[in-house]
């Protein structure tokens, strides 16, 4: 079943339930900062496992101790509930690895 794209108003309301995430175009985006490079890689591995399990995969940019995630539901053409669900899983993974606020 195809996910329904959230309206801009719905995205704004749902973003209030997340910390440090923002909207960039048709995607959610957050940069996580870690103590070091290996912590960043540990985080990416955790995100990859969660993404594979949910069959919803983020765009990932790794810059030493910073990892930026971009979430969108490509086949729906925008932001859906799948993106918010994965954002919460990513936040939990970040907390386990010691993410700092970014």
In the chain, where the domains are located: 8-97
Q: In CATH, what number does 8-97 get?
A: 3.30.1360.20
Q: pTM of the full predicted structure?
A: 0.93
Write phi, then psi, for 58 (nearest 5 degrees). Answer: -85, 160
84's tokens? 């918010």
98's tokens? 């010691």
Write phi, then psi, for 21 (nearest 5 degrees). Answer: -100, 150
25's tokens? 């175009």
pLDDT score for 100:
85
pLDDT score for 1:
61
Q: What is the residue-level pLDDT of the chain in tens, covering all 102 positions?
A: 678 999 999 999 999 999 999 999 999 999 999 999 999 999 999 999 999 999 999 999 999 999 999 999 998 999 999 999 999 999 999 999 999 875
The pairing of beta strand 66-71 with beta strand 27-33: antiparallel
**What secondary structure does DSSP assign to the chain, as a single string?**
-PPPPPPHHHHHHHHTTSSS-EEETTEEEEEEE-SSHHHHHHHHHHHHHHHHHHT---EEEEETTEEEEEE-BTTTTB--HHHHHHHHHHHHHHHHHTPBP-
pLDDT score for 101:
72
């Amino acid at each position: 079943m195809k996910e329904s794209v959230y309206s801009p108003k719905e995205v704004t309301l749902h973003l209030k339930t997340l910390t440090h995430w923002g909207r960039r175009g048709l995607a959610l985006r957050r940069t996580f900062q870690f103590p070091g490079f290996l912590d960043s890689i540990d985080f990416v591995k955790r995100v990859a496992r969660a993404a594979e399990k949910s069959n919803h995969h983020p765009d990932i940019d790794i810059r030493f101790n910073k990892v930026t995630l971009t979430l969108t539901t490509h086949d729906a053409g925008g932001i859906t509930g799948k993106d918010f669900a994965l954002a919460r899983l990513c936040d939990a993974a970040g907390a386990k690895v010691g993410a700092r606020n970014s």
